[in-house]
Amino acid sequence: MRAAGLALTCALLAAGCKSPFERSSYLGGLRILAVKAVPPEVAPGATSTLTALTVAPAGDPVAISWVECRVPALVGSGEGLSANCLTADAADGLTPVGTGGSVSVVMPDLGPDAVGTPDYTGGVYLPILLLASAGGDETAGVYRLRRAGGGPPNRNPRITEVGVVENTGAVTLLAEDRPSETSAGAGLTLVMTVSADSRETYTAPDGAGGTRAVPEVLRVSWFATGGRLVAGNVGVDDSDHAFTWFVLDQHLPAVGPSGGRIDLYVVVRDERGGADFAHRQLVLR
C-alpha cells in the first residue's frame, strides 16, 4: 500500500493521471468511473455490497483490490478521508476487504468522529480504497461509504432510460442489450432519465446549531470510448432528465464489416454517496 500511495494521489488529484489536455469524458485507458453501494448508507455492523464500474478500452480484464481505511481524517477536514490513507500500511489502519468487481463491506462500530468530521450534508464516511490493474496499467480511487446517522437512510438514485432526442423532440431509447447504429460526423442529443423518487430530501446542519431540510442535488457524468461529449458533467433538471451533446468527430474506431463499436457510460450521483450507472453501445456504419 505504501508503494501505491503515489498512484492513488495521482488518481485523486488528476482523474486517474490522464492527460490534462484530454477531456475526462473520453475513455482512452484504464479508468474507475464509479462505485455503487447497496445500500449506500449503513449502520455499524450492517453490510453493504460495493460494485465498481471500471473500463479498460483494450478489452483486458480488470483486477481490483479493495482496502478499508480506518485512519482518522484531519480535524476539520469535513471530507472523511485522511491523507495518511495514501501512505499507510495494515498496521496503521488499512484492512484488505476483498478482490473482484464487487465486495461486501461491514461498517465497523466506530465513533462518529473516528474516520472524519461531518461534511456539509451532516454525514461521516468510511473510506474504501480501490486499486485497479489491467493490461499492465494501474489506477486507483476512493469510495466513501456513509455511516448511518439516525435519520432516514440515503437511497441510490435510479436510472430508468437512456436515449437520443430526435429533431422532432421524440426520444429513441438506447437498448441495454442491443447496439444502436450511427455514423461518423453525427451529432446526438443524449438524454438520461432518473426515477421520480431519485431526488430525496434530507436533514442537514444549518450552521447555527440546528438543522434544515435540503432537496438533494443529482449530478450526471457521461463517458465514451470514442467521439466527443461536449458537456461530460451536467445536472439533473426538475423533470428528472439530464442532457448532453455527443459529436462523433474524433477518437473514432475503425469501421469493419460489423461496424465500429463505441461504449457509452452514464453515471448519476447524489450528495451522500448514492449512485447508479448504465452502459450502452453505439455502432458506426
Q: What is the β-pairing status of strands 41-42 and 137-147?
A: parallel
The answer to whether residue 90 scores a pLDDT higher than 80 is no
Nearest to 275 by CA among 105, 102, 36, 103: 36
Length of the chain: 285
Structure confidence at residue 59 (pLDDT)? 80
> Angle 210-216-220 (CA atoms, 0-180°, nearest 5)?
145
Cα separation, 38 vs 155, whole angstroms: 8
Place of cell 468510511: 126
**DSSP label at residue 72:** P
Average pLDDT over residues 11-35: 68
Average pLDDT over residues 96-117: 84
Structure confidence at residue 20 (pLDDT)? 43
**What is this structure's pTM?**
0.88
Cα separation, 276 vs 138, whole angstroms: 24
* Residue 133 DSSP SS3: strand
Place of cell 445500500: 39
Query: Is residue 89 very low, low, confident or very high in pLDDT (cuts 50, 70, 90)?
Result: low
Average pLDDT over residues 234-245: 94
Cα separation, 46 vs 92, whole angstroms: 24
The answer to whether residue 124 scores a pLDDT higher than 80 is yes
The answer to whether residue 118 scores a pLDDT higher than 90 is no
